[in-house]
Chains A and B, each alone.
Chain A
């Protein structure tokens, strides 16, 4: 027999031995799991399911919170793409023509133009100048029908009504200006704890000195702190007040594909929007990015604790298992079973517990918690938060739990099986 042929046969023999060891280890693992005490098996799998659920729930909740904040930023502040005036200019020019071109681009859902200006609000409840409240907020303009395609203000009316395009002396107030309701800034608001009522009058002083009295037509609550501290009048009304026409402070564009903003921006440039600043929504969400990073840290910390708990659980289960079976392991080694076969059988048990735990956790997450929170979302100050189960998180958490379980199973199994046969049989 040639040297090569001999080496090849040895490799095949070695592979067969490895496969056989795996077969024996699997046989032992299956018997040890299936013939163990049913209650203890149930409890073990339940603990693993809860540990996984804990990790996955936290991840889904955090993702849900980030998703809510992102959605709010898109739906109430920046849409998907924001166009701003060129450097050193106050307004975007020829807005009607630009919007028309933008709206005809493939993949654009809608666009809306806003004038935005700092104003002074005055509220004199008794009309006697004795109890006047004053505050500064930004007032924006809107074309009510266009706005519906881009933002959610029309669906966020707490009291009264949304604007229509012919309204001239009507104003839509955010709840943090009106006060009352569920305002976050009652003391800074005009209406205090009772809030302003629909039909009441307020006076707005524009930067050019023009004063105008408005009737409150509606109060909105988007649950976005930045949006709810704002107010809207119609575009025509604002143009009259600022004495401008066919211009805007910003144009917001909603697109079909949120992940392809770069391509849309390129399209906008190609239709002649060359000097204006154009940015995706992500450029404006610095605070959300900070919060997201903090949440990621919390998520990693809580996941780490969860994995540690699962590791300890598996360690205890396997440790008790091997300690109780020291003599049997000694005999198995005596009759010729190799250490690695014994270790593999315990690793397979740990893997089994981890997989069933993951399965149980996913079942509860997808079929109980997720449907429940879809109907009853958590009402956080930042808005309604749904569970956002990301496949990436599920995969990472599952792999992490499996790895933690295998490591935790390995330590006691290796520690016991490496002892000498006589030490094991004598129980040293």
Chain B
């Protein structure tokens, strides 16, 4: 599903380069629930951003669903993200003017579904994250955990091939975090959803199928 070869990402200037990724080669299979872990500054979020086409690698190869992403134009990248990838961020960043069902409908509207189809599928997605009773609530009327679940519903409503989550529980209490992790596990086990999740919580390594450990922008094969 995802394959990288010697992926690098350098920030900063030519004089003062910051080597965030220094040649990462990984392979994530369809249906896997993979964790990307490592210390702060190890490059885990940077790797996720490259895999999720939110950023452009400095060098290396990134193949997603058998497509070489280097050949994508910006427009093609946007369309590919819309149709194939889902994202859950630490910042759930829901538009305050939209209700839960409207926020989740947005990606469906973007692919051109009519309002009735949008409503049905958005309701199903919200029910899947156990927010069937919060359809018409605005974001400020929801708790942090509920807002993150709306963000997850928004991420999965287009039935993406891969779901990326960047420290999705960082802003949540432990109870809400458990709900989110269990939700990911359920999506993975029941629907076969491929999930790539960055986490800094050590206990999360027990929740995923496999962990990709990073250290200083490289794979850390010492960690287990």
List chain A residues, Cβ under 8 A from B155: 335
In the complex, whether A116 has a CB less than 8 A from a CB of chain B is no
CB-based contact B107/A338 at 8 Å: no
In the complex, whether A277 has a CB less than 8 A from a CB of chain B is no
List chain B residues, Cβ under 8 A from A2: none
CB-based contact A336/B83 at 8 Å: yes
In the complex, whether A274 has a CB less than 8 A from a CB of chain B is no
Segment at the A interface, from B89-97, B171-179, B194-202, B214-222: B89-97
In the complex, whether A407 has a CB less than 8 A from a CB of chain B is no
Option from B87, B96, B109, B110 in Cβ contact (under 8 Å) with A334: B87
In the complex, whether A99 has a CB less than 8 A from a CB of chain B is no
Segment at the A interface, from B25-33, B63-71, B73-81, B125-133: B73-81
> Using a CB-CB cutoff of 8 Å, which residues 82-141 of chain B contact chain A?
82-83, 86-87, 89, 91, 93-98, 102, 106-107, 109-110, 112, 138
CB-based contact A35/B138 at 8 Å: yes
Bound-state Cα–Cα, A155 to B87, Å: 81
CB-based contact B87/A335 at 8 Å: yes
Interface centre among B49, B89, B97, B102, by most chain A C-beta atoms within 10 angstroms, is B97
Interface centre among A24, A325, A332, A336, by most chain B C-beta atoms within 10 angstroms, is A336
In the complex, whether A36 has a CB less than 8 A from a CB of chain B is yes
In the complex, whether A376 has a CB less than 8 A from a CB of chain B is no
In the complex, whether A269 has a CB less than 8 A from a CB of chain B is no
Interface centre among A36, A341, A420, A425, by most chain B C-beta atoms within 10 angstroms, is A425
Bound-state Cα–Cα, A333 to B106, Å: 12
List chain B residues, Cβ under 8 A from A336: 78-79, 81-83, 107, 110
CB-based contact A31/B98 at 8 Å: yes
In the complex, whether B161 has a CB less than 8 A from a CB of chain A is no
Knowing A20-B112, A335-B81, A337-B110, say if A421 contacts B97 (CB, 8 Å).
Answer: no
Knowing A420-B55, A422-B55, say if A20 contacts B93 (CB, 8 Å).
Answer: no
CB-based contact B93/A327 at 8 Å: yes
Knowing A335-B81, A336-B107, A422-B49, say if A328 contacts B112 (CB, 8 Å).
Answer: no
Which single residue of chain B is at the shortest CB-CB distance from A20? B112
CB-based contact B82/A335 at 8 Å: yes
CB-based contact A32/B110 at 8 Å: no
In the complex, whether B18 has a CB less than 8 A from a CB of chain A is no
CB-based contact A31/B97 at 8 Å: yes
Which single residue of chain B is at the shortest CB-CB distance from A17? B112
CB distance from A19 to the nearest CB of B (A): 9
In the complex, whether A42 has a CB less than 8 A from a CB of chain B is no
List chain B residues, Cβ under 8 A from A337: 78, 82, 106, 110
Which single residue of chain B is at the shortest CB-CB distance from A36? B97
In the complex, whether B154 has a CB less than 8 A from a CB of chain A is yes
Option from A23, A32, A331 in Cβ contact (under 8 Å) with B93: A331
CB distance from A266 to the nearest CB of B (A): 65
CB-based contact A330/B110 at 8 Å: no
List chain A residues, Cβ under 8 A from B154: 335
Option from A20, A23, A325, A334 in Cβ contact (under 8 Å) with B81: A334
In the complex, whether B142 has a CB less than 8 A from a CB of chain A is no
CB-based contact A331/B87 at 8 Å: yes
In the complex, whether B170 has a CB less than 8 A from a CB of chain A is no
Option from B75, B81, B97 in Cβ contact (under 8 Å) with A35: B97
Bound-state Cα–Cα, A338 to B80, Å: 12
In the complex, whether A118 has a CB less than 8 A from a CB of chain B is no
List chain B residues, Cβ under 8 A from A24: 106, 109-110
Bound-state Cα–Cα, A104 to B71, Å: 86
Option from A20, A35, A325 in Cβ contact (under 8 Å) with B110: A20
List chain A residues, Cβ under 8 A from B54: 334, 421-422
Option from B79, B82, B95, B138 in Cβ contact (under 8 Å) with A328: B95
Bound-state Cα–Cα, A333 to B85, Å: 12
> Using a CB-CB cutoff of 8 Å, which residues 313-341 of chain A contact chain B?
325, 327-328, 330-338, 341
Bound-state Cα–Cα, A101 to B154, Å: 86
Apart from the given pairs A335-B154, A336-B81, A421-B55, 7 other A-B contacts in the complex at a CB distance below 8 Å: A24-B110, A330-B93, A331-B87, A335-B155, A336-B83, A337-B82, A422-B55
12 pairs, CB–CB < 8 Å, chain A vs chain B: A20-B109, A20-B110, A31-B97, A35-B138, A36-B97, A327-B93, A330-B93, A335-B87, A335-B110, A335-B155, A421-B54, A425-B93
Where the two chains meet, the residues of A that have a C-beta atom closer than 8 Å to any C-beta of B are 16-17, 20, 23-24, 27-28, 31-32, 34-36, 325, 327-328, 330-338, 341, 420-422, 425
